[in-house]
């Protein structure tokens, strides 16, 4: 997904939201806003949105000196979702097709985005999610691909959401003999998962955790670590969670299933869905 002009004001907005999590000092908030605004003329639209957004988050770190402003929010989201874990498992186990239900819930978990609206979302979205049909639905291919895979790379997205990912990972385990790898970001950025979140939520007990080696809120292959790239290239199925990973991997080589909530007009239009829709989309490009 290329960067559209619309992405630039949106990135300014996202950065403002993020710096407010770091400090209540309006002078510092303004300083960050000014720095990101001043950087906009230098942002190349041939980069993908997460690469550009990343520059804003770096400016926040530089100006505030806080390397992980969302730490408390991330841990709270993990804890809250872990409390719901038995309920989520229950929904999956009692459903007609546990793998599909786990997919739907993992996609619903992608609603858990940074910010104060978190609390309500974790508790309320997931029950209705089971009943809602996916707007783009490549589940039959997903089920078949999972079953026959030998290496599955699952790329995580947000904290809290990772508990829903764990439930899906557990269902995938039952459906395949493949080795499963779970990928996290290399450094804290917004509320994205890093290695400590995989440990906090027990995902490290189910599968191997690797880092993408970057501080980008997405998966920009050419910037990822050699280890990550090796797994990416060896995986016969990639599961990509969330819009940041979609924006990064759309159009890239590989056998990818995108599981996400469409969060802006541009992504929704490209996916052929509406904002807020739950999406499971298959993209298999030989490159």
Which residues of the shown chain bind a copy of itself in the complex (CB under 8 A)? 5-6, 8-10, 12-13, 16, 26, 29-30, 33-34, 37-38, 40-41, 45
Who contacts 169 (Cβ-Cβ below 8 Å, separation ≥6)? 154, 180, 182, 203, 206, 207
Q: Which is nearer to a copy of itself, 59 or 198 (CB)?
A: 59
Q: Which is nearer to a copy of itself, 25 or 124 (CB)?
A: 25
Q: Which is nearer to a copy of itself, 3 or 214 (CB)?
A: 3
Least Å from the CB of residue 192 to a copy of itself: 21
Tally of CB atoms within 10 A around 213: 17
Least Å from the CB of residue 47 to a copy of itself: 14
Unique residue bearing structure tokens 């290695």: 195
Q: Kindly write down the DSSP assignment for every residue of 160-177, as one continuous string.
A: THHHHHHHHHHHHHHH--
Least Å from the CB of residue 15 to a copy of itself: 9
Least Å from the CB of residue 200 to a copy of itself: 32
DSSP letter for 40, please.
Answer: G
Whether residue 242 contacts residue 53, with contact meaning beta carbons closer than 8 Å, is answered with no
Q: Which is nearer to a copy of itself, 40 or 76 (CB)?
A: 40
Write out the two tokens for 122.
């974790």
Q: How far apart are CA 231 and CA 60, in angstroms?
A: 31
Q: Which is nearer to a copy of itself, 12 or 82 (CB)?
A: 12
Least Å from the CB of residue 231 to a copy of itself: 37
């Amino acid at each position: 997904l290329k960067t559209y002009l619309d992405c630039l004001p949106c990135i300014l907005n996202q950065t403002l939201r993020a710096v407010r999590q770091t400090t209540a000092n309006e002078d510092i908030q303004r300083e960050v806003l000014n720095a990101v605004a001043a950087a906009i003329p230098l942002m190349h639209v041939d980069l993908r949105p997460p690469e550009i957004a990343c520059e804003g988050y770096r400016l926040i770190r530089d100006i505030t000196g806080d390397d992980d402003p969302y730490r408390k929010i991330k841990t709270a989201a993990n804890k809250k979702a872990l409390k719901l874990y038995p309920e989520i498992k229950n929904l999956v186990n009692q459903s007609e097709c546990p793998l599909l239900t786990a997919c739907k819930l993992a996609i619903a978990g992608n609603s858990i985005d940074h910010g104060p609206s978190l609390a309500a979302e974790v508790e309320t979205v997931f029950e209705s999610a089971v009943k809602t049909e996916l707007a783009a639905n490549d589940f039959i291919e997903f089920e078949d691909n999972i079953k026959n895979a030998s290496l599955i790379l699952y790329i995580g997205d947000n904290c809290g959401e990772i508990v829903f990912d764990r439930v899906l990972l557990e269902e995938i385990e039952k459906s395949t003999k493949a080795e499963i790898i779970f990928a996290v970001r290399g450094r804290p950025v917004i509320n994205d998962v890093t290695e400590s979140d995989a440990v906090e939520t027990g995902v490290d007990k189910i599968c191997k955790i690797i880092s993408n080696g970057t501080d980008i809120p997405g998966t920009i292959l050419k910037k990822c670590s050699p280890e990550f790239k090796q797994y990416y290239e060896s995986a016969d199925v990639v599961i990509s969670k969330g819009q940041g990973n979609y924006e990064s991997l759309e159009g890239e080589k590989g056998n990818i299933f995108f599981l996400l909530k469409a969060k802006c007009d541009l992504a929704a239009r490209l996916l052929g869905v509406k904002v807020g829709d739950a999406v499971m989309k298959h993209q298999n490009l030989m490159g």
